[in-house]
């Protein structure tokens, strides 16, 4: 590795067997051990894999989360890792952080790595916040005196001073993320790895965290790898980008070009029709539309309608039917859930239509997307989310007698001011 190279991925791949740790049979496990550990050859079961495309169901029990990843990061670079859900972003960071190992290939990193991957990662729930700070510093190879010199800064930045001697298991997810980020950033790792857990924090903390990552990279010359769906944050922070798609690198380059390549593939439609709903799925989104449509006057001072139909194929005990409104740069702005009307958690099999109206002067000028969330609770991914995404653009009304401004842009994950109309067919 060159003197100015901080991170190097050399033909790295990662494969998982779906639902199983072993190869299912003792004979296969023994054969795998003999071939890989005794003979030093490639695992024979790696030849059966498929790419990690969540939009379609494969036939193999093996899936490639990453395939032949090959790139270098120079010291002091801030690299944004972007892509759709399931592209392999989090797996890449876990490999770099040594949470798991690559199936094939080599990863080289120069210096200590501070990671913030998931809420609570690296924390012991029974230990206090203070004890966890010292434990994480010791893992990074720091002396107690070194950690003590950073302690006040960590506590102050996290905003958890009142609860620093309380067991971490009693912290909210937001508090845990704030403390975790402060620990990862202030214990001076040469490489800072941050997954999209910052989305859990409030807007003020996200701004502080972005500012701190800039200081770490620009002022201290440390390397940052940042995964986020918020393109505005990625553009503000990063100078280079890596776009992943189905576990492979689709594009690498300057951050502006990387984001442009990513957004160019986004669906631009005002109406979606599911031409071949899978009867084996518990839920299907049959159709969806937003009015006014693309090309029509979608004025800021005119109400908007969002209509869609869902087929329930079998009883779902924890139902989620709703949508998110996101900005053109993938920043989450607001959410609406039909379930919130009366606490409804289930529906009997059948077809249902939903109608949601957003009142005038809710959004300011710009492009927005509607990302549907039609799923069973605790099942993270809605398979057709990318295909069914709708797009609309708000423009000023030239016929308006006065300049009309939105009352507010909904804050992150606020409930949209609106109402469900004629909700059930």
Q: Where are the domains of the chain?
A: 70-264, 271-420
Rounded percentage of the chain residues whose pLDDT exceeds 90: 17
Answer yes or no: is pLDDT of 327 > 60: yes
User: What is the per-residue pLDDT across 98-138, written as a single tens digit (0 to 9) for each?
Assistant: 888 888 999 999 888 887 776 666 788 889 999 988 988 88
Task: For residue 11, give the DSSP letter.
Answer: E
What b/e readout covers 132-170, taking b as 16+ CB neighbours within 10 angstroms? bbbbbbeebebeeeebeebeeebbebbbbeebbeebbee
Cis omega (within 30 of 0) on the bond before 292?
yes
Options 2.40.50.180, 3.20.20.150, 2.60.40.2550, 1.10.230.10; CATH of 271-420: 2.60.40.2550
Answer yes or no: is pLDDT of 189 > 90: no
Answer yes or no: is pLDDT of 60 > 60: no
The rounded distance, in Å, linking the Cα atoms of 354 and 341 is 12
What b/e readout covers 42-70, taking b as 16+ CB neighbours within 10 angstroms? eeebeeebbbbebeeeeeebbbbbbbebe
Answer yes or no: is pLDDT of 56 > 50: no
pLDDT for res 48: 40
Give the residue from 375, 319, 313 showing the smallest Cα distance to 350. Answer: 313
The rounded distance, in Å, linking the Cα atoms of 332 and 238 is 19
Answer yes or no: is pLDDT of 250 > 50: yes
Give the range with max mean pLDDT: 198-202, 232-236, 378-382. Answer: 232-236
Min mean pLDDT across 35-49, 385-399, 408-422 is at 408-422
pTM equals 0.66
CB–CB of 112/7 below 8 Å? no
Task: For residue 299, give the DSSP letter.
Answer: B
Stronger pLDDT, 320 or 81, i.e. the higher one: 81
Answer yes or no: is pLDDT of 26 > 70: no
Min mean pLDDT across 36-45, 67-76, 344-353, 361-370 is at 36-45
Min mean pLDDT across 51-65, 202-216, 338-352 is at 51-65
User: What is the per-residue pLDDT across 329-378, written as a single tens digit (0 to 9) for each?
Assistant: 777 788 888 876 667 778 888 888 888 888 887 877 778 889 998 888 76
Q: For 190, phi and psi rounded to 5 degrees?
A: -70, -25
State the DSSP H helix or E strand holding residue 264, giving kind and residue range, or none if neither: helix 255-264
User: What is the per-residue pLDDT across 212-222, written as a single tens digit (0 to 9) for each?
Assistant: 888 877 777 88
Stronger pLDDT, 56 or 69, i.e. the higher one: 69
Long-range contacts of 200-208, Cβ-Cβ distance < 8 Å, separation of 24 or more: 200/119, 200/173, 200/174, 201/174, 201/177, 202/174, 202/412, 203/411, 203/412, 205/159, 205/174, 205/177, 205/178, 206/233, 208/157
- Under the banding of pLDDT at 50, 70 and 90, the label for residue 165 is very high
**What is the third-level CATH fold of 70-264?**
Rossmann fold (3.40.50)
414's tokens: 């606020």
């Amino acid at each position: 590795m060159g003197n100015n190279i901080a991170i190097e991925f050399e033909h790295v791949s990662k494969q998982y067997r779906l639902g199983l740790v072993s190869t299912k049979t003792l004979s296969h496990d023994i054969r795998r051990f003999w071939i890989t550990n005794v003979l030093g050859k490639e695992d024979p079961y790696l030849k059966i894999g498929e790419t990690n495309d969540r939009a379609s169901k494969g036939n193999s029990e093996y899936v490639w989360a990453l395939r032949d990843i090959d790139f270098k990061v120079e010291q002091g670079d801030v690299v944004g890792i972007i892509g759709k859900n399931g592209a392999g972003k989090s797996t890449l960071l876990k490999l770099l952080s040594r949470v798991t190992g690559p199936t094939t290939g080599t990863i080289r990193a120069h210096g200590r790595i501070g990671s913030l991957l998931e809420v609570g990662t690296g924390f012991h729930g029974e230990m206090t916040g203070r004890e966890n700070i010292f434990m994480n510093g010791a893992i990074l190879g720091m002396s107690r005196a070194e950690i003590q010199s950073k302690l006040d800064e960590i506590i102050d930045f996290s905003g958890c001073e009142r609860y620093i001697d309380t067991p971490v298991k009693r912290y909210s997810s937001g508090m845990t993320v704030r403390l975790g980020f402060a620990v990862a950033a202030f214990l001076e790792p040469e490489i800072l790895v941050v997954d999209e857990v910052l989305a859990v924090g409030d807007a003020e903390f996200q701004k502080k965290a972005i500012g701190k990552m800039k200081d770490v990279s620009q002022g201290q010359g440390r390397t940052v790898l940042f995964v986020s769906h918020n393109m505005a944050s990625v553009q503000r922070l990063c100078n280079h980008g890596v776009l992943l798609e189905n576990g492979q690198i689709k594009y690498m380059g300057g951050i502006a070009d990387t984001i442009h390549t990513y957004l160019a593939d986004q669906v631009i439609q005002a109406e979606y029709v599911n031409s071949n709903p899978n009867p084996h799925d518990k839920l299907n989104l049959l159709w969806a539309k937003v009015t006014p449509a693309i090309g029509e006057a979608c004025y800021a001072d005119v109400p908007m309608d969002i209509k869609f139909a869902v087929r329930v194929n079998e009883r779902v005990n924890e139902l989620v039917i709703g949508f998110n409104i996101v900005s053109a740069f993938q920043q989450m702005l607001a959410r609406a859930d039909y379930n919130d009307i009366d606490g409804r958690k289930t529906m009997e099999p059948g077809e249902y239509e939903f109608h949601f109206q957003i009142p005038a002067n809710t959004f300011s000028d710009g492009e927005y997307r509607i990302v549907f969330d039609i799923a069973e609770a605790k099942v993270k991914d809605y398979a057709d989310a990318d295909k069914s995404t709708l797009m609309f653009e708000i423009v000023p009304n030239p016929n308006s007698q006065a300049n009309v401004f939105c009352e507010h842009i909904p804050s992150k994950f606020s409930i949209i001011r609106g109402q469900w109309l004629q909700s059930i067919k």
